[in-house]
Amino acid sequence: MSKPIRYESIQDPLDEEERELMDPETWDWDSAEALPPMPDVKIELPIAFTRDEYLTIGRAADAEGMTTHAFIAQVALAVAQALEPRSQSAA
């Protein structure tokens, strides 16, 4: 059983124009447009490292000619893909 969709805002409107735009009673439901989903939506993850860990990762990234962020993403994805057959057989 799915929960009903809630349309109320989680924050107060900044002015009267925003208050009207946030009010579902003023929305033009008859002219709503259905759009295809966005392909390859990115998700950002905050990850904490100690200074020494970050410097170690940074040096490895530099050696590969990559940014630290790109290096972490590439290595994490490679490890996850290598482990994938094991995790699927355990399920």
Per-residue pLDDT of the chain (91 residues; tens, 9 = 90+): 577 777 777 788 889 888 888 888 888 888 988 889 888 888 889 999 999 999 999 999 999 999 999 999 999 999 999 998 775 655 5
Count of beta carbons in the 10 Å neighbourhood of residue 5: 6
> Would you state the pLDDT for residue 19?
87
Whole-angstrom distance, CA of residue 72 vs CA of residue 66:
10
The helix/strand/coil state of 31 is helix
Q: Is the pTM of this model over 0.75?
A: no
- Phi, psi (deg, nearest 5) at residue 13: -65, 150
Q: Which helix (H) or strand (E) holds 51?
A: helix 51-63
